[in-house]
Amino acid sequence: MKKSEMPEEERLLKIIVFSNWILLAVLTVGGVLLRTWDFGWGVFAGGLIISINFHFLYRTLKKSLDPLQLSSPGIILGKYYIRFLISALIIFVLISEHYVEPLGLILGLSIIVISLLVGLVYEVKENFFRGVV
């Protein structure tokens, strides 16, 4: 499938996921080299937690919006809260047992936001230049 044939939503998702993994790798290595191992591990752990959550959120929403497999809002919210509680428990253990530096963990948990901004900038650039040319 050519780039022009791919639906915009899939293209945007691919950009977000790709930039997410690149940012995770760069910020993890940068955290280890510029700060400490605990900081880099915090970035990696936070980025991994949020990336897995983003993936499962995507799967839940994709299935629930399929007309053949409509889910009730209660099931969708239930899955969301289960993921939230599991993530909170993992974050609690990571911080309370001093496995990671909290600042690194916060940076890692912010990676998906940065990836969403990268996707937004890419889409604005694509749509702006498509309209100009």
**With pLDDT > 70 as the criterion, what percentage of the chain qualifies?**
94
pTM given for the model: 0.85
Q: How many residues does the chain have?
A: 133
Q: Residue 46: which of 23, 64, 69 has the closest Cα?
A: 23
pLDDT in tens, 119-130: 999 888 888 877
Q: Is the pLDDT of residue 80 over 80?
A: yes
Q: What is the mean pLDDT of residues 2-24?
A: 85
Q: What is the mean pLDDT of residues 51-78?
A: 86
How far is residue 113's CA from residue 75's CA, in Å, rounded to a whole number? 25
